[in-house]
């Protein structure tokens, strides 16, 4: 399921998990489970960002935006 999430969806879910941890109302076992879930969403965010980086074309220095003349 996590592989089908967009960056924005995974980021929102990660934020919810972090807020649950910050509230401090969880038992130790529940907190550890939330940490594992948060890591999953963090990985999805990292993967989506890496995919975006690969799609961006980087031009060498000195290369103009114009095509051949």
Non-local CB neighbours of 18 within 8 Å, separated by 6+ positions: 38
User: Is position 60 within any domain?
Assistant: no
Instruction: Note the pTM of the prediction, 2 decimals.
Output: 0.75
Residue 65: is it exposed, middle or buried by C-beta count within 10 angstroms (0-12/13-18/19+)? exposed
| Segment 24-63, tens digit of pLDDT | 999 999 999 999 999 999 999 999 999 999 999 676 666 6
User: Is position 44 within any domain?
Assistant: yes
Q: Tell me how many helices (H) and strands (E) the chain has.
A: 2, 0
* Residue 18 clears pLDDT 60, i.e. is over it: yes
User: pLDDT at position 67, please?
Assistant: 58
Domain of residue 13, residue span: 2-55
User: Is position 12 within any domain?
Assistant: yes
């Amino acid at each position: 399921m996590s592989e089908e999430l967009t960056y924005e969806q995974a980021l929102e879910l990660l934020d919810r998990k972090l807020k649950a941890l910050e509230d401090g109302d969880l038992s130790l076992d529940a907190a550890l489970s939330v940490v594992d879930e948060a890591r999953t969403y963090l990985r999805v965010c990292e993967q989506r960002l890496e995919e975006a980086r690969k799609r961006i074309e980087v031009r060498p220095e000195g290369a103009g935006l114009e095509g051949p003349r």
